[in-house]
Amino acid sequence: MAAAASTPAPPRRVIVCGGGVIGACTAYFLSTHGTTPTVPTVLEKCAPACAASGKAGGFLAADWRGYLPASWCGSTPSLSALMRVSFALHRRLASTLDGAAAYGFRPIHALSVSLPSGDDDPMVQNWVDPTASGAEVLGAPDATAQVHPGLFTKAVLAASGAGVVIGEVERVVVREDGRVAGVAVKGRAGVMEADAVVLALGPWSARLDMIRELFVVYGQKAHSVVLRPPEPDTITPHALFLRYQPEPGGRVFKPEVYPRPNGEVYMCGMSKDEEVPDDPAAIVGEAESIAMLRKIAGKLSGKLRTEEGAEVVAEQACYLPCTTDGLPVIGEMPGVKGCYVATGHDCWGILNAPATGAAIAELILDGRAETVDLAPFSPERFLKKK
Ligand SMILES: Cc1cc2nc3c(=O)[nH]c(=O)nc-3n(C[C@H](O)[C@H](O)[C@H](O)COP(=O)(O)OP(=O)(O)OC[C@H]3O[C@@H](n4cnc5c(N)ncnc54)[C@H](O)[C@@H]3O)c2cc1C
């Protein structure tokens, strides 16, 4: 009897703030937990997947360290471990949720391609011919894959059964004993009560005093275009990491290109550090950046030129959530029992969302994470730096 009394009951009322991919995966793993499945409420300011989680590339890699410079994402052993676990979880989710049909999950090749400068003819006439184009292979389908990020986010959120409340969390309400009491929502009286609160607000995380006082999360704006070529069947499943230097000695552009199984070709790049606007729905791309992406698309392949029949599906921008040490922040907020944070996933949030969500769900419901070692990602690391 005494042992049972000393084990606290797992929280029953959980609020997940933020309906991006991190919030959605947290909701999914809470509600599918093996012993104490707990369906949370998701509190989202705008709409699920309205920001980066709906406008990202959706590229997934089991381990990227061997291919790219160490400064790139996945450059620490802890991040590599997170990526490997999350890649495996993506595969598992795709088979549970019929990911191929529901959100375009598919294994894919990844190539690095240098585009020639000058105004030559489009380089890739028949989409990708690795031997003809001199492309370098970065990844094969056993270790690289893709999803449509917006459809993935919405599919896991729907599968979680979580109710979505549209509202803006203003602050976390904490009891005198240091335990979370719930959240205050802008424009609403009273407190939305909870036994546990997860803050998954992407680049908006630092708008909350509690987070801003502990660590920095800043936004990096990136642009993307989605094109529909006239003969989508001729576009093979090759993700392309481009390098393009229009003038010798000038700026080098490194856009990424992801053909999708629905016949669309997504392309992103043109990023810069910039203050994140309050309203996710108000984010628009800059004309110059969009024009450069369109120019590079046309240079890559005639099939991506509007003059040759390509349709423009979207021209957009969104913000990567970045931290000062390049690692995501995943764990319980120091000094506030029952309040958890999951943010700062930079350019790998779609990949790392399942492992993040699974680990946070375990932390909440079991008291410790089994899926991945969260120690390197704990928000406590910033206490030590103060
Ligand atoms: C151009 C681009 C391409 C990318 N490509 C890839 C890729 O190929 N692979 C990959 O793994 N990752 C990729 N990423 C990174 C990935 O998109 C992000 O890391 C991920 O989407 C972050 O998810 P999130 O849930 O933390 O944040 P977000 O998607 O930004 O979601 C945060 C949510 O919180 C809501 N919110 C904000 N404030 C409040 C509030 N006060 N109250 C309630 N709700 C609030 C917002 O409305 C939003 O819905 C890319 C990113 C960009 C920008």
Task: For each of the domains in the chain, give its residue range(s) and CATH number, in order of start.
Answer: 11-53+152-215+325-385 (3.50.50.60), 107-141+218-323 (3.30.9.10)
**Cβ 219 under 6 angstroms from ligand 1:** no
**Cβ 328 under 6 angstroms from ligand 1:** no
Asked whether residue 118 carries a pLDDT value surpassing 70, the answer given is no
Asked whether residue 267 carries a pLDDT value surpassing 60, the answer given is yes
> What is the mean predicted confidence (pLDDT) over 156-162?
98
3-state secondary structure of 58: coil
Q: Which of 87, 148, 320 to mutate to test the pocket of ligand 1 (most atoms within 8 A of CB)?
A: 320
CA-wise closest residue to 321 among 271, 284, 255, 281: 271
**Cβ 154 under 6 angstroms from ligand 1:** no
Q: Encode pLDDT of 223-261 as tens digits.
A: 999 999 998 888 888 899 998 888 888 899 999 999 999
Q: Is residue 94 very low, low, confident or very high in pLDDT (cuts 50, 70, 90)?
A: very high
- DSSP 8-state symbol, 9: P
Element (DSSP H or E) covering residue 240: strand 238-244
Asked whether residue 82 carries a pLDDT value surpassing 80, the answer given is yes
Q: Is residue 132 very low, low, confident or very high in pLDDT (cuts 50, 70, 90)?
A: very low
Q: Which of 45, 265, 286, 292 to mutate to test the pocket of ligand 1 (most atoms within 8 A of CB)?
A: 45
pLDDT at 329: 98
Instruction: Tell me, in angstroms, the distance from the centre of ligand 1 to residue 166's CA.
Output: 17
> What is the mean predicted confidence (pLDDT) over 278-289?
93
Q: Encode pLDDT of 350-376 as tens digits.
A: 999 999 999 999 999 999 999 999 999
Most confident of 119-133, 146-160, 267-281: 146-160
CA-wise closest residue to 168 among 43, 9, 345, 36: 43
Residues of the chain with pLDDT > 90, as a percent, come to 73
**Alpha-carbon distances, residue 231 vs 234, 238, 278, 332 (angstroms):** 6, 16, 40, 49
> What is the mean predicted confidence (pLDDT) over 165-186?
97
CA-wise closest residue to 201 among 171, 156, 160, 159: 171
Q: How many CB atoms lie within 10 A of CB 278?
A: 10
pLDDT at 339: 98
**Cβ 265 under 6 angstroms from ligand 1:** no
Least confident of 19-33, 57-71, 94-108, 122-136: 122-136
Provide φ and ψ at 222, rounded to 5°.
-135, 150
247 burial (CB, 10 Å; 0-12 / 13-18 / 19+) is exposed
pLDDT at 3: 41
Compare 331 and 4 and report the one with higher pLDDT: 331
Q: Is residue 134 very low, low, confident or very high in pLDDT (cuts 50, 70, 90)?
A: low
> What is the mean predicted confidence (pLDDT) over 142-170?
97
**Cβ 237 under 6 angstroms from ligand 1:** no
pLDDT at 208: 97
* Pairwise CA distance, residues 173 & 330, whole Å: 20
Q: Encode pLDDT of 24-81 as tens digits.
A: 999 999 999 999 999 999 999 999 999 999 999 999 999 765 555 444 445 688 998 9
**Cβ 46 under 6 angstroms from ligand 1:** yes
What mean pLDDT is reported for the chain? 90
Provide φ and ψ at 49, rounded to 5°.
60, 25
Instruction: Tell me, in angstroms, the distance from the centre of ligand 1 to residue 55's CA.
Output: 8
Q: Is residue 155 very low, low, confident or very high in pLDDT (cuts 50, 70, 90)?
A: very high
Cα Rg of the chain, angstroms: 21
Q: Which of 345, 352, 360, 377 to mutate to test the pocket of ligand 1 (most atoms within 8 A of CB)?
A: 345
Instruction: Tell me, in angstroms, the distance from the centre of ligand 1 to residue 21's CA.
Output: 7
Instruction: Tell me, in angstroms, the distance from the centre of ligand 1 to residue 246's CA.
Output: 31
pLDDT at 246: 87
Asked whether residue 1 carries a pLDDT value surpassing 70, the answer given is no
